[in-house]
Structure 1
Amino acid sequence: MQVKLSTGVVATCLTWLLSPLAAAQTFEARAVITAPHRAILSGELAARVASLPFKVGERFSKGDVVVGLDCALYEAQKSRVAAEVRAARIKRDNARELSALNSIGEMDVALAQSEYAQALAELKIADLNTDRCEIRAPWDGRVVSVLTRAHENIRQQQELIEVVADQQLEAEVVVPAAWLTWLEAGMSVHFSIDEPPVSAEGAIAAVSPAIDAVSQTVLLRVSLQNNPNLIPGMSATAVFAAPVSQ
């Protein structure tokens, strides 16, 4: 029994066969959601923790103080150095006036100028120390963990708080090196998140320039579209649409 198809049906079938979806096949690989901007902020001074304005999970903006230190000692040192700068400046100016009257030699003027420059350098150090009393957020983000408590005394380089920029997430995908024949930057990638079962979209941002010699795989870095359901550390399946010839 022969079935005749209308011209419209034939045209529809041909259109589907020639469409981009019909001319491609899908490949899958495992992926991990990552945050390119994630850091553990440390204290550069030995001081007492005065304030921790943000708790775990709370959102902050770039420039917000995430850890405040009690720096009364450093402020006092800065005041002392500032007074020394004023005294050194007066001494330098006086030396220049005496030199103009030929009352002192050039060496005395040079020494006064050197003392003033040294005092300015010490004031700059004092300014840096007082600036370090407030640890500020390097970008917009959220608190991952707080590693200290208010009123605790910390040492230099002690880890205090972990933060992450969760609005600019990426995915790391390890794929067979053989896929490099058709993979390229800018190619769209669909992600199926394991838990919770949600989906996400992205595009290949970069392909690693080196292939793992043992596994013959290559790492891809995929930029993700902003998605409030995504959290760094999630695992997912990445789905690629490759030309059917592949």
Structure 2
Amino acid sequence: MTRIRGKALLLSALLLAMPAHAEEHKARAVIKALDRAVLSGELAARVTSLPKRPGESFKRGELLVGLDCDLYEAQASKVAAENNAAKIKLDNARQLNELRSIGSLDVALAQSEYAQTQAELRIARINTQRCQITAPYDGKVVTLLVNQHENIRQQQELIEIVADQRLEAEVVVPATWLSWLRPSMPLTLQIDETGDRVEATIAAISPAIDPVSQTLLLRARFAQSSELMPGMSATAYIGQTDTQ
């Protein structure tokens, strides 16, 4: 009896030492990409190239949309010639000023003309660079919003892209959970579309509560997200542990 009573006391002590695990809380979540954008054209031009199709991958710096640049290249060449002429005129004005053939006002005017053509040349070169819309990061094409050979206007939306390897989950939870939620807490996401369970940790807790729904937004970071896609929905399971 003494031995049995001793084992019972030892078991009771172990149970008291272990944290009591309360019910597992669950909430709805959605998978989102950290980088997702709709790229627009900054020029009015004709689309000459769309090398990537929806679903295809690309690397940072790769061409996504090519525009007809003949007009802008011609303008850049014209301004470059004007800039060169203004530089010759300025050099000549400085030489004449040293010989006392012209005054300082003429030199200042030549300097101003040269500065103006330099600014116009920079603008022309920027426009030629805008004829090629390149990828700002590694990712995939979501959808094309324009077709090849179409003429586009300024600020027209052309292509939607996403960085599908940089994902996070947004979890909406009751505001009453704020009393025990903490950053870096682990959670498990069960993906609706695949049924897979993915481990994550709370990266940040929104500093504001929605006054209408009395809910709070959490951002969760994945340990591994290669099988996930932006737009997937999930159920998040967060375990609350109370110490006695």
Question: TM (normalized to structure 1)?
Answer: 0.91
Where 1:115 maps in the other structure, the secondary structure is: helix
- Counterpart residue number, 1:123: 121
* Structure 1 residues 152 and 245: alpha-carbon distance in aligned structure 2, compared to 1, 3 A threshold: same
- Asked if 1:168 is matched to 2:166, the reply is yes
Given the alignment, which residue of 220, 226, 229 partners 1:228?
226
- Write the distance in 1 (CA, Å) between the matches of 2:50 and 2:121: 28
- Counterpart residue number, 2:175: 177
Tell me how large the CA RMSD over aligned residues is.
Answer: 2.3
- Write the distance in 2 (CA, Å) between the matches of 1:198 and 1:191: 8
Given the alignment, which residue of 102, 105, 119 partners 2:103?
105
Alignment check: 8 A CA contact 1:168 1:226 kept: no
Given the alignment, which residue of 81, 89, 92 partners 1:91?
89
What is the CA-CA distance between 1:216 and the residue it aligns to?
A: 1.3
Question: What per-residue deviation string (whole Å, max 9, x for no partner) do you get for residues 48-69 of structure 1?
Answer: 1111111110111111111111
Amino acid at match of 1:34: K
- Counterpart residue number, 1:140: 138
* Structure 1 residues 151 and 112: alpha-carbon distance in aligned structure 2, compared to 1, 3 A threshold: same
What is the CA-CA distance between 1:228 and the residue it aligns to?
A: 2.4
Show the 5 A alignment for 1:181-220: 181-220=179-218
What is the CA-CA distance between 1:207 and the residue it aligns to?
A: 1.0
- Write the distance in 2 (CA, Å) between the matches of 1:209 and 1:183: 12
What is the CA-CA distance between 1:244 and the residue it aligns to?
A: 3.0
Q: Which runs of 5+ in 2 are unaligned?
A: none
- Counterpart residue number, 2:60: 62
Runs of 4+ in 1 over 6 A off after TM superposition: 4-14
Amino acid at match of 1:201: E
Question: What per-residue deviation string (whole Å, max 9, x for no partner) do you get for residues 102-133 of structure 1?
Answer: 10011100000000000000000001101101
- Write the distance in 2 (CA, Å) between the matches of 1:28 and 1:53: 44
Alignment check: 8 A CA contact 1:167 1:226 kept: no
* Structure 1 residues 15 and 165: alpha-carbon distance in aligned structure 2, compared to 1, 3 A threshold: farther
What is the CA-CA distance between 1:213 and the residue it aligns to?
A: 1.3
- Write the distance in 1 (CA, Å) between the matches of 2:8 and 2:52: 63
- Write the distance in 1 (CA, Å) between the matches of 2:33 and 2:6: 53
Question: What per-residue deviation string (whole Å, max 9, x for no partner) do you get for residues 165-204 of structure 1?
Answer: 1101111111111111111111111100111111212111
Alignment check: 8 A CA contact 2:93 2:102 kept: yes
Most deviating of 137-146 and 227-236: 227-236
Q: Which runs of 5+ in 1 are unaligned?
A: none
Identity, in percent, stands at 58
Alignment check: 8 A CA contact 1:192 1:237 kept: yes
